[in-house]
């Protein structure tokens, strides 16, 4: 039953609990709560359910129980299962081309947990955190819970504009302040889609050193490259211990395993670990994932690349056929998302209503900006979950809705 109380908790709440988290000022759909459930799921970045290796995970589970038994079912090490930490090192060398030590790896409950640990380590209420604008809405929400001043820096096709970033850092220094953290999504930026160039990565590292700040590098989709050449990560390029890097198994295995990691200079790993009170992140599932990936990782990633490349290409084909040159449409080399600048004169509120009538979900642009008060002329589409037929049908319907909303 519900517990009804007249107790006032104001004097008991922490400073963070008292923070008022702003919501994006979004256009409202006229369909409202009465809108039918969407048929064309272009909103969240959910992995393709047909890609999950069901039988192989059953076999991996059986192998774990035969070989490790009770050890898999007790509390684990604070830093995470050693086998998974070693696998992260192997994966980094294979896909990223540089070596890290196990002592650089802390296993977390997904990359969202890793991002929160970085905030626990570095961010106090009132600190300045710089993000790309636009950037991933989930991370913006995480940052907001720590109460920093969020400052957005715009991007172009090479990624974050480092000239604008330096001007921002210089102005902060003039006022006797500094950024604690610069957050960047280097590969297939979510939502905008570009990959940060090597030139910009080197400039970003130089600025972090010059202005005494840290970089939080988020790379949830790095293995899912469908075209173009990979660029060495900031963590691999860093020579001054300025970078924390987060990763996840959500996109190359399954989101439900809730396993990720944070890479950090060895001196910071114990300090990050002190904020973990989980008895060792999921020792059982960590083993299952490790046993599966030791045998199947490379072939499974190749299968995923083929699946998502076809989905990306299908959605892009239908968008270009339906909208022509009237809209700016991103062409990401990987990841799950397409970012669209809507045709001039599109009414975002009308578009939401028309899309809801056609049972299409997407994410409006304001979710991806630190202030939540810009980006109305953009939308983000995810091609990862829907089937090819749903992508064709839903994208055609969305293009019709966009035309009707002008």
35 has pLDDT over 70? no
Q: How far is CA 252 from CA 36, 256, 258, in A?
A: 31, 11, 12
Q: How confident is the model over 286-308, as a mean pLDDT?
A: 97
pLDDT tens digit string along 107-130? 999 999 999 999 999 999 999 999
pLDDT number for residue 2: 58
Q: Which two tokens stand for residue 251?
A: 């996109």
Q: What is the pLDDT of residue 27?
A: 64
Phi, psi of 137 (to 5 degrees): -65, -35
Instruction: Let me know the angle formed at the C-alpha of 230 by 246 and 136, rounded to the nearest 5 degrees.
Output: 40
Structural domains in the chain? 27-52+300-404 (3.90.1150.10), 69-296 (3.40.640.10)
Around 397, how many Cα atoms within 13 Å sit in the side-chain half-sphere?
22
pLDDT band at 18 (very low <50, low <70, confident <90, very high): confident
pLDDT > 90: what percent of the chain?
Answer: 88
Q: Give the per-residue pLDDT at 279.
A: 82
- Residues 120-158 pLDDT 10s: 999 999 999 999 999 999 999 999 999 999 999 999 999
pLDDT in tens, 52-101: 999 999 999 999 999 998 999 999 999 999 999 999 999 999 999 999 99
Separation CA 375–CA 48 (nearest Å): 28
Q: Which residue has the higher pLDDT, 37 or 292?
A: 292
Q: What is the pLDDT, as a whole number, of residue 4? A: 61
Q: What percent of the chain shows pLDDT beyond 70? A: 95
How sure is the predictor about 1, in pLDDT bands with cuts at 50, 70 and 90?
A: low
Peptide bond into 134 cis (omega under 30): yes
CA 303/CA 332 separation, integer angstroms: 18
Q: Which DSSP helix (H) or strand (E) runs through 321?
A: helix 283-323
Q: What size, in residues, is the chain? A: 406
217-227 tens-digit pLDDT:
999 999 999 99
């Amino acid at each position: 039953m519900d517990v009804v109380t007249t107790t006032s908790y104001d004097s008991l709440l922490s400073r963070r609990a008292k923070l008022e988290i702003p919501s994006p000022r979004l256009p409202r759909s006229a369909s409202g709560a009465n809108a039918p459930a969407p048929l064309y799921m272009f909103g969240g970045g959910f992995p393709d359910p047909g890609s999950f290796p069901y039988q192989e995970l059953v076999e991996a589970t059986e192998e774990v129980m035969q070989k490790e038994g009770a050890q898999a079912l007790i509390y684990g090490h604070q830093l995470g299962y050693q086998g998974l930490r070693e696998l992260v090192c192997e994966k980094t060398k294979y896909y990223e081309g540089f070596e890290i030590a196990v002592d650089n790896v802390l296993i977390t409950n997904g990359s969202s947990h890793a991002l929160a640990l970085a905030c626990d380590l570095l961010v106090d209420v009132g600190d300045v955190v710089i993000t790309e604008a636009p950037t991933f809405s989930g991370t913006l929400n995480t940052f907001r819970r720590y109460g920093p001043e969020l400052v957005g820096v715009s991007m172009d096709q090479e990624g974050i504009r480092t000239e604008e970033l330096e001007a921002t850092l210089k102005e902060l220094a003039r006022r006797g302040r500094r950024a604690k953290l610069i957050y960047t999504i280097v590969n297939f930026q979510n939502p905008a889609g570009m990959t940060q160039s090597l030139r910009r990565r080197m400039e970003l590292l130089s600025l972090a050193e010059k202005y005494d700040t840290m970089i939080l590098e988020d790379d949830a989709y790095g293995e899912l490259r469908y075209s173009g050449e990979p660029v060495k990560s900031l963590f691999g390029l860093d020579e001054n211990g300025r970078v924390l890097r987060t990763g996840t198994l959500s996109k190359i295995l399954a989101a439900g395993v809730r396993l990720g990691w944070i890479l950090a200079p060895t001196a910071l790993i114990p300090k990050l670990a002190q904020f973990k009170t989980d008895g060792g992140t999921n020792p059982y599932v960590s083993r299952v994932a490790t046993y599966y990936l030791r045998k199947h990782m490379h072939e499974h990633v190749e299968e995923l690349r083929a699946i998502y490349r076809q989905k990306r290409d299908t959605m892009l084909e239908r968008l270009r056929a339906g909208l022509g040159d009237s809209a700016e449409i991103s062409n990401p080399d990987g990841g799950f998302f397409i970012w669209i600048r809507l045709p001039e004169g599109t009414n975002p509120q009308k578009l939401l209503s028309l899309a809801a009538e056609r049972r299409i979900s997407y994410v409006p642009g304001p979710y991806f900006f630190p202030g939540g008060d810009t980006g109305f002329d953009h939308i983000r589409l995810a091609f990862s979950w829907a089937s090819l037929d749903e992508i064709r049908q839903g994208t055609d319907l969305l293009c019709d809705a966009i035309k009707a909303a002008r």
